[in-house]
Homo-oligomer: A and B are copies of this chain.
Amino acid sequence: MDRVVLGIDVGGTKMTAALATQSGKIVKLLRVHTKREEGAEGGFKAICEMVQELLNEARSQGLTVVRIGVGFGGPVDFGRGTVYLSHHVHGWENFPLKEALEKRFAVTTSVDNDANAGTLGEWMFGAGKGIDDLLYVNIGTGIGGGIISGGKLVRGWKNLAGEIGHMTVKPDGPVCTCGRKGCLEALASGDAIGREGTERLGRPVKSEEVFQLAEQGNEVAKQILSEAVEALAFAIGAAANLFNPKRVILGGGVAEAPEHLLIEPLRARLPRYTLPQAAEGLEVVRAQLGYDAGIMGAIALAITSIGD
């Protein structure tokens, strides 16, 4: 056990870093909160302090860190290891995160967005173990995703693949955060479910309450969820026709809803939007990593990058 990796999960204001073995066992984990107003500079400083502490720890245990993996909460140019931008914290635009970390710590570093890292994490350590063709959909405030095809992460030309949240589902639907209309994210994310609840119930509610009301038999809430499920079935069915995955993994806060309110009706509606041959045997399951998805994703990114 003397070669280890170092994973870093960079959120808007929460940073997690960990040393882990090449089979994903965590040796030591650190968590810090940063201030949004400190921008990328403050964030980078916090990252460096954690990395230094973990490298010291590794040395003291006789371990060699062979790779650093960074899961970043925003789009990343994977090839160059440069952040495109952060939606939440200023100063990250074009930040050369890979280069800066390699220069400082002399450890080969891979940087990817957190959706790709999360997909790798579920694939290596969670609900996707052993499955070479899978679709990961993270339903939280927004909707992100990732695709493993033939045992490899689908990255695309500019590392922008997996954006199932911005697939158009209803061309005349509500306006999305991206500025276009009727994206999956505008119809089935936590924010979208809360927005519909607030509108149709006539008082401010969040998605959690919509699920609670549906559980209690509230017809308005049930209708809202049934529309969200229909939008998810539409988009996941489209992806299934394109990639023919064996398994769909649902992560994020919304996916923690009771199975009979989300996953079961989704399974029932998928064949409407999927070729029978591709729908046959297609599994829909809940993600397994939960709160640890971010850091386990960064660790999986580091491990899968060894040898690249």
A interface, CB within 8 angstroms of B:
75, 84, 132-133, 147, 149-150, 152, 154-164, 166-168, 171, 178-180, 234-235, 237-239, 241-246, 272-273, 275-278, 281
Contacts and interface: CB of A to CB of B under 8 A. Distances in A.
B158 A244 contact: yes
A164 B239 CA distance: 9
Which one of A168, A242, A244, A246 has the greatest number of beta carbons of chain B within 10 Å? Answer: A242
Contact of A167 (B242, B277, B281): B242
Main secondary structure of the interface of A (DSSP, over half): loop
A163 B278 contact: yes
A287 to B, nearest CB: 19
Contacts of A149: 149, 154-156, 161
A157 B245 contact: yes
A133 to B, nearest CB: 4
B158 A278 contact: yes
A277 B245 CA distance: 25
A41 B242 CA distance: 32
Nearest to A133: B157
Contacts of A163: 241-242, 244, 275, 278
B133 A156 contact: yes
A283 B239 CA distance: 21
A157 B132 CA distance: 8
A168 to B, nearest CB: 5
Nearest to A243: B161
A3 to B, nearest CB: 26
A243 B156 contact: yes
Contacts of A238: 167-168, 235, 238, 242
A205 B275 CA distance: 29
Given A163-B244, A164-B241, 20 more contacts: A84-B277, A133-B156, A149-B149, A150-B154, A155-B244, A156-B243, A156-B278, A157-B246, A158-B277, A159-B244, A160-B244, A161-B244, A163-B275, A167-B238, A167-B241, A168-B272, A168-B273, A180-B272, A238-B242, A243-B243
